[in-house]
Structure 1
Amino acid sequence: MSHRNARLTVHGRRLLVDRVRSGRPVAHVAAEMGISRPTAHKWLRRWHCEGESGLIDRSSRPHRTPHRTTAATEARICRLRQDRKLGPARIGPILGLPTSTVHRVLTRHRLNRLSWLDRPTGTVIRRYERDHPGELIHVDVKKLGRIPDGGGHKVLGRQAGRATRNNVGFDYVHSAVDDHSRLAYSEIHPDEKVATCAGFLTRAAAFFHDQGIPRIERVLTDNAWAYRKGLAWKNALADLGATGKLTRPYRPQTNGKVERFNRTLADEWAYLRPYTSNTERTAALADFLHTYNHHRSHTALGGHPPITRVNNPAGQYT
């Protein structure tokens, strides 16, 4: 994904190279593409030296950061935070550091919120994630009322929409979220029976495989009958070589990543705008999932989309 302020995408850089190679002046091509001549020459130079790979985005992180806070100082900041529960305004004067520097260090080590820590020990207990993609997949089902043709109360108004609500039934949105990367996959079905859940798991595993997660090790679900007793579900797990895990009864927080995804699903897809039919809402799901996985900034991933966690080593983004 290109930087949000970049004038050219990778496709635009290829167009730049192709137009210059056709014999047109660099200055003319740069002007029509809205970039400066030095920028145009930069991409041409990279293409000449590295070929197609030279047109791909690079990290802007410097090779050296001589004034970065030392590891020993960062360790002292973390120790004061975990042992004495002090904030940046208190730690800064103790160590002779600016408050902003202390806050950045705490954020880097995910200690910036006391609510994430176990108060007696200072151990991070609220934020956790598995070490690599595929180690744990969260699965859940969200129930949504179907939209009658012509729209429901959000289109027609509450009084008129009430008459259209009868006997329209429900959609069951089955979702799977990878614990490490937050990569998500969803399907809409008319029920949450065992065969439906098993088929969804098989297709979800195929999706994750296509995205670069070759194996699923564990699958975490709630205590619905289909997951506890369903033979088809157990067979699907066996075919994948995965282990099924159940949440603690009446404790949905255990499956928190997919529960939070369900909320995003509702806010940014299901109730994003007034749909005039159930078919229209269903058709919009694919675009939402692509945006979520490939373009939407995720706060838990340092503002990067989930796909970057699949394609990059663990811990690169904080």
Structure 2
Amino acid sequence: MTTDEKVARRKLSLLELAQDLGNVSRACKVMGYSRQQFYEIRRNFQTYGSEGLIDRLPGARGPHPNRVSEEIEEAVLAYCLKEPTHGCLRVAQSLALEGVTVSSMGVRGVWARHNLQTKHERLMRLEQATREKRVELTERQVRLLERFSPEFRERHIITNHTGELVAVDTFYVGQLKGVGKVYLQTVIDCFSRYAWGRLYTSKLPITAVHVLNNDVLPFFEKHNARISTILSDNGREFCGRPDTHPYELFLQLEEIEHRTTRVRRPQSNGFVERMHRTLLDEHFRIKGREKWYESVDEMQTDLDDYLVRYNTKRPHQGRDMNGRTPYAVFMKGLPKEKKTVAKSALKTA
């Protein structure tokens, strides 16, 4: 038997003794209760039955009969979230105009139950609600975040070996007098940063295929390696119907997976974009002031010389490069079994 049950049993004994003796004063004196306690115990027993004999903590019998309804309480809380600096009287008057009837003391009671009695507490509730609210960012806001936020700046593509991911892109070099527009088809291995580049007077699928077929794939075959995936933007020279587009068909024949970046998100193809800036700063802007080019072939000859220096002699400061040349990292990133085949081929030769 619990303590509450023992107390209830004692109160019931008090009521039974008073009935048997016919004298409330004597029964209270025997049981150690006052007359006021006796009449309160009898009233609770007559109203609630045996449950009325159990002692209850203040407020444990349910909400106060004058407490506002849940609908009104929600309306008060919603209004205070919208106007946290208004007082209880103004809240009651404003809700009355909206068809919600509540007194100023009713509003204060709602505030007391939710710890919102002061203006500061209501403002802190607004701040918390705003912090937890999800906001859909526009494209412009996303671009600004990626530009200035360290979290976005530190994101990078992870590759594990040579040829796992190769990035391609078309770069507008400029206008050559007597020739027209000049475009650069750039290809770069994302693991080693080894780069290839070829200049054209147009940007067509056939030019994108040409640089892969004539320069990139033969170099990988020479080192007994292969390209697993190519990453490009959504340009027309790279993307189209898989059954008719020349570039898509070429990749299918070579069993190379084709991935594309998100629209208007050049930073997702950051390796090749950074390569373009390097070419501008270290080659095109310098050679364009030193020489007067008359043909694309002349530009290609100087570009080939720069790419040889870039790939084999120039220390690279990119992520995980540690000052090594792209060619050194290219060779180190070859799969082990392919390295063995390459060494045996060299010994045979």
Q: Which of residues 233, 241, 252 in structure 1 aligns to 2:247?
A: 233
1:276 and 2:292 aligned: yes
Structure 1 pair 306–282 and aligned structure 2 pair: CA distance change class (3 A) = same
Structure 1 pair 278–266 and aligned structure 2 pair: CA distance change class (3 A) = farther
Contact 2:191–2:333, Cα closer than 8 Å, also in 1: no
Counterparts of 1:207 and 1:285 in 2: how far apart (Å)? 19
Paired residue for 1:153? none
Contact 1:174–1:200, Cα closer than 8 Å, also in 2: yes
Contact 2:205–2:246, Cα closer than 8 Å, also in 1: yes
Paired residue for 2:323? 303
Q: Which of residues 242, 266, 287 in structure 1 aligns to 2:305?
A: 287
Counterparts of 2:190 and 2:207 in 1: how far apart (Å)? 22
Structure 2: unaligned runs, 5 residues or longer = 1-147, 335-349
Give the total of aligned pairs: 178
Structure 1 pair 293–140 and aligned structure 2 pair: CA distance change class (3 A) = same
Amino acid at match of 2:266: P
Paired residue for 1:212? 223
Counterparts of 1:270 and 1:192 in 2: how far apart (Å)? 19
Q: Which of residues 265, 271, 277 in structure 2 aligns to 1:263?
A: 277
1:129 and 2:162 aligned: no
Q: TM-score, normalised by structure 2?
A: 0.47
1:233-276 per-residue CA deviation (whole Å, 9 max, x = no partner) reads: 01110122101111000000111000100111111121113121
Q: Which of residues 162, 174, 177 in structure 1 aligns to 2:185?
A: 174
Counterparts of 1:212 and 1:238 in 2: how far apart (Å)? 22
Q: Which has the higher contact order (CA 8 A, sep 6+)?
A: 1
Counterparts of 1:268 and 1:213 in 2: how far apart (Å)? 31
Counterparts of 1:197 and 1:295 in 2: how far apart (Å)? 27
SS at match of 1:191: coil
Contact 1:220–1:245, Cα closer than 8 Å, also in 2: yes
Residue 188 (structure 1) shift: 0.7
Sequence identity percentage: 28
Structure 1: unaligned runs, 5 residues or longer = 1-114, 149-166
Paired residue for 1:194? 205
SS at match of 1:224: coil
**Does 191-200 or 285-294 show the bigger shift?**
191-200
SS at match of 1:227: coil
Residue 127 (structure 1) shift: 3.3
Contact 1:139–1:220, Cα closer than 8 Å, also in 2: yes
Amino acid at match of 2:316: H
Structure 1 pair 169–241 and aligned structure 2 pair: CA distance change class (3 A) = same
Amino acid at match of 2:323: G
SS at match of 2:203: coil
Paired residue for 2:268? 254
Q: TM-score, normalised by structure 1?
A: 0.52
Question: Which structure has the larger Rg over C-alpha atoms?
Answer: 2
Contact 1:133–1:213, Cα closer than 8 Å, also in 2: no
Pairs within 5 Å for 1:1-318:
118=151, 125-148=154-177, 168-209=179-220, 212=223, 214-229=225-240, 231-273=245-287, 274=289, 275-279=291-295, 280-300=298-318, 301-313=321-333
Counterparts of 2:260 and 2:292 in 1: how far apart (Å)? 38
Q: Which has more helix, going by share of residues?
A: 2
